[in-house]
Amino acid sequence: MDTGDQAQRHRSRMQRKKAVVDATIAAADRDQGLLLVLTGNGKGKSSSAFGMVARALGHGMRVGVAQFIKGRNDTGEEGFFRKQPGVDWHVLGEGFTWETQNLARDIETAQRGWAVVREMLGDPSLGLVVLDELTYPLKYGWLELDTVLADLKARPSMQHVVITGRGAPEGLCEAADTLTALRDSKHAYRAGVRAQKGIDL
């Protein structure tokens, strides 16, 4: 085995690869407020969004969070982030539609909630806005997609927005700069494990 030859081949392959990577990095030279959509049935949408909240706070940015579906009020992220300076935390939704069982009230709650979001989307001091589980009020028709898209478009040019939730509507996916669909390959819940602190809540 000629290891000198092998090492040389590796070196030239890595040089070619570095040239490609460097060119790609050099080509992405703009700054812009991004719209991220995290959807799909797999676990990791909200926790990814809150990971970005931590990142933004670490950079001294101010962050707005709106939660549209209030399944529980004992999540670790709420307990932690609400206490942090620079976080503007709003719970705008109630339970799921099969919990509230009142369409008129669901619509009113969602619309009131969106008015709060609109203020955040008009506030250039917020570097990041997370709209957690926004896909549900859209899916159930409590909020108009066109209104939501127009307000997102009108936000400050350097403000990032992260939207989470299953079943993101097509128009929202099209508007996204970064779109991630998480796939559910396996979930411990189906093997009978209930939601675990630090992992699921």
Instruction: Note whether 135 binds Mg ion by CB under 5 A.
Output: no
As a whole number of angstroms, the distance between CA 162 and CA 178 comes to 9
Question: Could you tell me which stretch among 43-51, 109-117, 136-144, 147-155 binds ligand ATP (CB under 6 A)?
Answer: 43-51
* Window 47-86: residues binding ligand ATP (CB under 6 A): 47
Which residue in 147, 150, 128, 123 sits closest to 137, CA to CA? 147
When the beta carbons of 50 and 114 are compared against ligand ATP, the nearer one is 50
Residue from 35, 37, 38, 46 binding Mg ion (CB under 5 A): 46
SS3 of 66, please?
A: strand
Residue type, 120: M
Q: Nearest approach, Cβ of 45 to Mg ion (angstroms)?
A: 5
Q: Nearest approach, Cβ of 190 to ligand ATP (angstroms)?
A: 7
Q: Quick one: tokens of 139?
A: 């899916």
Which residue in 54, 52, 56 sits closest to 38, CA to CA? 52
Instruction: Note whether 67 binds Mg ion by CB under 5 A.
Output: no
Q: Nearest approach, Cβ of 103 to ligand ATP (angstroms)?
A: 22
Q: Quick one: tokens of 197?
A: 């602190």
- Please give the helix or strand (H or E) that residue 110 lies within, else none: helix 103-121
Q: Nearest approach, Cβ of 183 to ligand ATP (angstroms)?
A: 9
Give the number of residues in contact with Mg ion, rule: CB under 5 A.
2
Cα 172 vs. chain centroid, distance in angstroms? 13
Tell me which residues touch ligand ATP (CB under 6 A).
41-47, 164, 166, 184, 187, 189, 195, 200-201
